[in-house]
Structure 1
Amino acid sequence: MNTLLSRKTKGDMLFDAANYILLTLIMLTVLYPLYFILIASISDPNLVYSGEVWLFPRGFTWDGYDRIFNDSSIWRGYANSILYAVVGTLIGVSLTVLAAYPLSRKDLVGRGTIMWFLLATMFFSGGLIPTYLLIKDLNMLNTIWALALPGAGGVFNIIIVRTFFQSSLPDEMWEAASIDGCSNWRYFLSIVLPLSKAIIAVMVLYHIVGFWNGFFDALIYLNDEKKYPLQLVLRNILVQNQVNANMMVDVESYAAKMRVTELIKYGVIIVSSLPLLILYPFLQKYFVKGVMIGSIKG
């Protein structure tokens, strides 16, 4: 270690120092907004308004979180979001992998034509109104399927997974397995899937983040508030100031309601972000590996 350090020139050391400074500034730029929301959610809203809260919380209070955790619409939105994310991810990842693997095989007749048809859907779509009419005709309005099915098996994800299979699974592996009498399904289930944990973890993370943060499809296709995901509940609070009346029963003045609403806004953002912040560390090693391997060649 000391030998390596001694070999570094002053230019190398300055370059490393500049990199560390730049990366630290980027890290702070990314983390500070979330940190500010965290300290603002437990600070006096008046002090937040006046700009006195920027590094440490002031006027410490748990009032916002108390109201959030005692509100049934937040918990119902949480449960709905978890359900939509789990079901949508299972369907999306399954379809993506099942479509990508055959397209990665050189012995698939017409795979080039199939890819062209798939690529065309990335540039041309029917639009919002035809899609809505289709969902309506399929009787999927106000159901989980309106959120889980239309975006399942995205072409971009299929291309990433197909590239992973092409770059990571040599043809000789299939030839050896087929000589031993292994069927396509047995090869796929026993060899391909176990060797593809990295890219599957990437797809799981992509889909979960997409479903967890998505609110537009729910806004369009759902009209029952009991089926709203957490992000749609959050949107109504942030954009329209539609806080559940049960959270304001003990607040009388308009000014006090505005202060409590601000606490609830910041608190709900933190609460809604926690699942992804908890999940990411467990998938990080697979995420980095899968993205790098899947981007080697097209």
Structure 2
Amino acid sequence: MPKNWLMFKDEIENLYIFNGHTLEDVRTIIKSKHCFDASVRSYRMKLEEWGFRKNKTCKSVRNQSSENSVIALYGNPSRSSESFVPTPPNENSHPEHMERFMTLASQDPFDYPIFSAPNPPQKSLFDLIDSHAPRETRLILTKALLMVSFDVFLSTPASSLDFQRWCKACREPIWNLTKKKLWKMNLTWLSPGAAKLVLEAALPVIGERSLAVHKAQLDHGHRLKSPDFKFEVYDYHRSQYMEILRDFREWNVELEKQWYVYLLDLMEWEARNDGSSNEDGVDDDGDDESDVDFEMSEGDEESS
């Protein structure tokens, strides 16, 4: 049985208790990310030892911590709250009302449910952005709302199934599973324009979140001098990073340039280390050609 369980205790708790993954899913994720291989039986014994259980007590604690949230109040209008909550304007409101509401909402990190509950009496914020915000700012505002909505979800229960799918996709460490969860989102409750905005914004937001996670792990690998460092872990995060960039290239979705600049830095770092490890004259022409092809344009290929 592996001895370094404590290294992954918090991550196991998060995946199993708060994200709702099965033990088999937790085992698969931990193994793929950290090359930490243990049987489901071993996981079950550790969970019992740590006292991690999925039960009503756990759920009630989470509900108590969020009972004063606006989303909880939305489901039970009879309850009152002393805190001030800005009310979003209706569909016929003047654009100035929209601007004032956005200012108020930003002061108290969006205590308003961004994803509408069933049969909402007012438009969602995404619809308001589509109908009132200047065209050149719509995508930026939609991205900001999606990022804030994820942070709110960490401490607040969501009534919208699509909201839950979006946030679970953000937390999914395996890129292929992230895409599957994202495609399951049904945005028919939004206007066509708002739904298009959400989809256009969701892809780069979720992609850049995933890239940031893998970049942090790769940076850690660069600096790590410990004998416990495993190249399998480094290779896993590198392959995930490359897969995300390839998908966005195929989808023709624009990402921030910093992610591509980091890829070049990564390749240069690897080339320097490969050169130092091949001082005995070993030819390294067989290195990963896919990385080179990824960065070469068609014109470069023809000239070569």
Q: Provide the TM-score with structure 1 as the length reference.
A: 0.26
Larger radius of gyration: 1
Higher relative contact order (CA 8 A, sep 6+): 1
